[in-house]
Chain A
Amino acid sequence: KNQVEQSPQSLIILEGKNCTLQCNYTVSPFSNLRWYKQDTGRGPVSLTIMTFSENTKSNGRYTATLDADTKQSSLHITASQLSDSASYICVVSAGFGNEKLTFGTGTRLTIIP
């Protein structure tokens, strides 16, 4: 059964600090992995997308890593800002053209001043 597990479930950090969110997956065959940011009451917005041949991808202060061997990904946020408060969702695609994506339940990140 394809699964995506994220940790921690929730995280509270001070503004300006760094943090790392984790994603472990058991999806086969693997096509790509995406990290989404979802603000409260809004739709998810794509941050990064990586295929199995990529092991790091950056988008501003967001850096995602992928280890296809251990089936793990992380999202590192540098110099956090209040606007980073959101849920971060890891999504894995099983095979190109496959309609079914496997979603993690997300990590709820709260940045406090």
Chain B
Amino acid sequence: SQTIHQWPATLVQPVGSPLSLECTVEGTSNPNLYWYRQAAGRGLQLLFYSVGIGQISSEVPQNLSASRPQDRQFILSSKKLLLSDSGFYLCAWREFGLVGETQYFGPGTRLLVL
């Protein structure tokens, strides 16, 4: 079965510090991978998605970046965090089935920028 991991689970960082959040998937190959941010009381916002190694598509302009150095590894980064970067970050992968695609989410990383 497929499993998706994210770490760290919780992170408190000062403004201006760098960020690196990691996501790995097990049990599947060449998955489509996604980074979402969920702000309090708001829906999930798609940040980046990747259809393969080294292929990154950005959905919203921001001071975040993403990389996919390996097939099942997806990294979210920032050189300098802003207060507005606080939120709950979710990694997801997509499975295609008979009734269309379903996204499976990781456990999330709670980021607080102070």
A residues with a Cβ closer than 8 A to B are 4, 31-32, 34, 36, 41-46, 49-51, 54, 89, 91, 93, 96-97, 99-101, 103-106
Taking the nearest CB of chain B, how far is it from the CB of A27, in angstroms? 13
**Residue in A32, A42, A51, A93 whose CB lies within 8 Å of B108:** A42
**Residue in B41, B42, B59, B100 whose CB lies within 8 Å of A32:** B100
Interface size for B (C-beta < 8 A) is 24
Q: Is the CB of B100 within 8 A of A103?
A: no
Q: Known contacts A100-B46, A103-B44: does B99 contact A49 (CB below 8 Å)?
A: yes
Which residues on the B side are within 8 Å of A99 (C-beta)? 32, 46, 49, 57
Which residues on the B side are within 8 Å of A32 (C-beta)? 99-101
Which residues on the B side are within 8 Å of A105 (C-beta)? 41-43
The CA of A99 and the CA of B35, in the complex, are separated in Å by: 12
Q: Is the CB of B105 within 8 A of A106?
A: no
Q: Is the CB of A49 within 8 A of B108?
A: no
